Amino acid sequence: MTASEEKFTRQRLLEVETLTPNLFTLRTTRDPGFRFRAGQFARLGVRKASGSIVWRAYSMVSAPHDEFLDFFSIVVPGGEFTSELSRLQPGAELLVDKQAFGFLTLDRFPDGRDLWLLATGTGVAPFLSILQDFEAWERFERILLVYSVRESRELAYRKLIDELPQREYLEGLGDRLTFIPVVTREKVPGTLYGRITTLIENGELEHAAGLTLEPEHSRIMLCGNPQMIEDTRALLKARDLNLSLVRRPGQVAVENYW
């Protein structure tokens, strides 16, 4: 099989940054022909010493217009893929599927005023891509990034989040973003304490946002722990906030590649 017939391209690892013993970020080169919408994911491949390839799906952190690809990963103890990936050094080869996947994109919502991005852990990745693209800022009057982790040291990309509103192409729109960090295992000043579902039930999340979760105005994206997604969807459904489908536009979009 020739390189043009393969379903992947060979890319080079540019940077690896360890955030905690269990979290790291990585940046790779990007094939000029690779296209994606903000919020989508790619399949990354690592070639093992035996020659076999292990594949896993990762949302792009980087924007569709960037010349590189950024990813955010957790180290799964004993995990075949992340164990190989976390050992790689800059210059190593990574395989990237030629096609991007996923439907956690803004075209799931034909309308709406408030965009809620609810993430746990590495599930923040697609939302960072969306926030680095212009469409969300143009379409929505308010954007709420709710980022939940167990310990405050796991709150990644803080510099990126803080600097976003100052980007030149967002001039005059930066005040549309409200960042709400959430920590579940320790009380930290400037963050909410508790699970996202608990904060929805007790009203603390809406109070912090200064907005109400309501069908008319709210458009909600969920990414992260599958149990969080399931439980949050149930809470939202009870408020008449339903999954957005092709034939039935709704208010909620989720990513289920875990």
Mean pLDDT of 91-99: 96
Q: How far is CA 242 from CA 94, 106, 226, 230, 234, in A?
A: 38, 16, 17, 12, 9
Q: How do residues 201-218 score in pLDDT, each as one tens digit?
A: 999 999 999 999 999 999
> Comparing C-alpha atoms, which of 84, 91, 144, 82 is closest to residue 113?
144
Q: Regarding predicted confidence, which is higher, 125 or 50?
A: 125
Mean pLDDT of 80-96: 88
Percent of the chain whose pLDDT exceeds 70: 97
Examine the pLDDT at 1 and tell me if it is beyond 70.
Answer: no
Beta carbons within 8 Å of 175's beta carbon, 6+ residues apart: 165
> Comparing C-alpha atoms, which of 145, 45, 38 is closest to residue 102?
38
pTM, two decimals, is 0.95
C-alpha 25/C-alpha 58 separation (Å) is 11
Pairing relation of β-strands 8-20 and 23-29? antiparallel
| Per-residue model confidence (pLDDT) at position 84 | 81
C-alpha 115/C-alpha 212 separation (Å) is 11
| Per-residue model confidence (pLDDT) at position 3 | 52
Mean pLDDT of 122-140: 97
Residues in the chain: 258
Q: How far apart are the first and last CA of the chain?
A: 30
> Could you give all domains of the chain from N- to C-terminal order, each with its CATH number?
8-97 (2.40.30.10), 106-254 (3.40.50.80)
Joined tokens for residue 201: 């039930």
Examine the pLDDT at 234 and tell me if it is beyond 70.
Answer: yes
| Per-residue model confidence (pLDDT) at position 257 | 57
| Per-residue model confidence (pLDDT) at position 77 | 83
C-alpha 58/C-alpha 208 separation (Å) is 30
> Comparing C-alpha atoms, which of 252, 186, 198, 188 is closest to residue 220?
252
> Comparing C-alpha atoms, which of 80, 62, 79 is closest to residue 71?
62
CA quadruple 134, 135, 141, 147: dihedral positive or negative? negative
